[in-house]
Homo-oligomer: A and B are copies of this chain.
Amino acid sequence: MAASETDEMGAVFRALADPTRRRLLDALFAEDGRSAGQLCAEVPEMTRFGVMKHVGVLEQAGLVTSRREGRTKLHYLNPVPIGLVADRWISKYAAPFTRAMVGLRTGLESGA
């Protein structure tokens, strides 16, 4: 059960931990195939280098794939790793309990 931990999953979790990266993923989800420059424009409060670093993390986690087109590099969202995490790990916790428990939550926390 704990054997369901893989390096890939760890990378995905770590990549997902940063809000900027989630934003980037969101941007890519809204419109695929963006160039690096376009992605940088998506996060204006950070320099190009910072954004590219985040994109690099996402690529290494397999959440984003890229392909060069002349002098630009286009980025594409890859939802498969997220799906794997959801499937193998999150649903394990979420599925059995959550649906019924969402309403009872405050009752459960009474002891704190």
Contacts and interface: CB of A to CB of B under 8 A. Distances in A.
**How many identical subunits does the complex contain?**
2
Contacts of A22: 2, 5, 13, 89
Nearest to A95: B83
A105 interface: yes
Contact of A66 (B14, B77, B112): B112
Contact of A82 (B1, B84, B90): B90
Interface string A41-67: 000000000000000000000000111
A29 to B, nearest CB: 6
Chain A interface size range: 35 or more
A48 to B, nearest CB: 20
A97 B112 contact: no
A85 B78 contact: no
A16 B13 contact: yes
Contact of A1 (B10, B30, B67, B102): B30
